[in-house]
């Protein structure tokens, strides 16, 4: 195993039937760390009622994860201050242990969030077959796409490492990390930080050229068109292109 991934790979944390209080605390800490994106958690922010339910066997780890993801703390940190793209990136990372697979997946989650609301969006991950197959009822979600697993594309490895950022990194950045690569199905450059920064600051001041195939109707030859945008404008421009029926061909840095 490379040193690049060693910091993120450990045995999955599972709550077993004969767990001691120390075992329970390991599970609770792992769940907070995973779902809250390595954020520092103050004692007053802990979900003590949910912890008690887990301790008493009234809920499973899956339900504890759900309560953390539906908490006011999660909502304030990852929903209220982020774009829909960034929110969905983080939900995939925190709840499924992987990066978004494709633009279609992001679009589906945007529709759930807009049409059915915040709680339905969270439920769509935790109630999914994918969650059940990988974590079941009592395994804490973990960064599984940096391991070799069936059903995860190779490109997911680099994307997940970019979302992880580094062993000391939290998910406080509100900049979407994968807009360009997911929308255009391009490879993701790995950006890891050893000092706890998100890596987004080196990107936000740059400009990018988006090349798209412009749909001209059945009788009109498809033509290509380019747009030069800042990083902040990229998400909106990609959405506009897709709304008009265009297809992203490439996204390149121009300075």
Name the phi and psi angles at 167, rounded to 5. -65, -25
* Residues 6+ away with beta carbon under 8 Å from 56: none
Q: Is the pTM of this model over 0.85?
A: no
Domain ranges of the chain: 1-184, 207-254
- Report the DSSP beta bridge partners of residue 246: none
Residue 146 confidence (pLDDT): 52
* Residues 6+ away with beta carbon under 8 Å from 241: 210, 212, 227, 247, 248
Superfamily of domain 207-254: Allophycocyanin linker chain (domain) (3.30.1490.170)
Could you tell me the pLDDT band of residue 252, with boundaries at 50, 70 and 90?
low
Name the phi and psi angles at 179, rounded to 5. -55, -50
Domain 1-184, CATH among 1.10.3130.20, 1.10.940.10, 3.80.30.20, 3.20.20.140:
1.10.3130.20
Each residue's pLDDT tens digit, 13-35: 999 999 999 999 999 999 999 99
Residue 58 confidence (pLDDT): 98
Could you tell me the pLDDT band of residue 49, with boundaries at 50, 70 and 90?
very high
Q: What number is the average pLDDT over the span 148-154?
A: 49
Q: Cβ atoms within 10 A of the Cβ of 9, count?
A: 13
Alpha carbons 215 and 244: distance in angstroms, whole number: 8
* Residues 6+ away with beta carbon under 8 Å from 233: none
**What's the DSSP call for residue 206?**
-
Q: If residue 249 lies in a helix (H) or strand (E), which one and from where to where?
A: strand 247-253
Residue 139 confidence (pLDDT): 98
Q: What number is the average pLDDT over the span 143-158?
A: 54
Please tell me which of 66-70, 80-84, 148-152, 217-221 the model is most confident about, judged by mean pLDDT.
66-70
């Amino acid at each position: 195993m490379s040193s690049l991934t060693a910091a993120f790979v450990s045995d999955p944390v599972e709550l077993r039937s004969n767990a001691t209080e120390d075992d329970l605390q390991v599970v609770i800490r792992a769940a907070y760390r995973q779902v809250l994106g390595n954020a520092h958690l103050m004692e007053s922010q802990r979900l003590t009622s949910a912890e008690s339910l887990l301790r008493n066997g009234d809920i499973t780890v899956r339900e504890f994860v759900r309560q953390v993801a539906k908490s006011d703390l999660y909502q304030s940190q990852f929903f209220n201050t982020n774009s829909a793209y960034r929110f969905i990136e983080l939900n995939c990372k925190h709840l499924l242990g992987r990066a978004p697979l494709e633009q279609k997946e992001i679009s589906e989650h945007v529709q759930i969030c807009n049409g059915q609301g915040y709680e339905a969006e969270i439920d769509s991950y935790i109630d999914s077959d994918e969650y059940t197959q990988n974590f079941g009822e009592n395994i804490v979600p973990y960064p599984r796409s940096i391991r070799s697993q069936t059903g995860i594309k190779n490109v997911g490895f680099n994307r997940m490492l970019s979302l992880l950022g580094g062993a000391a990194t939290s998910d406080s950045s509100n900049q979407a990390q994968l807009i360009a690569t997911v929308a255009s199905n391009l490879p993701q450059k790995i950006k890891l930080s050893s000092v706890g920064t998100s890596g987004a600051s080196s990107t936000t001041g740059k400009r990018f050229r988006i090349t798209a195939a412009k749909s001209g109707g059945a009788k009109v030859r498809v033509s290509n068109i380019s747009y030069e945008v800042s990083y902040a404008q990229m998400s909106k421009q990609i959405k506009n292109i897709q709304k008009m029926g265009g297809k992203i061909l490439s996204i390149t840095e121009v300075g």
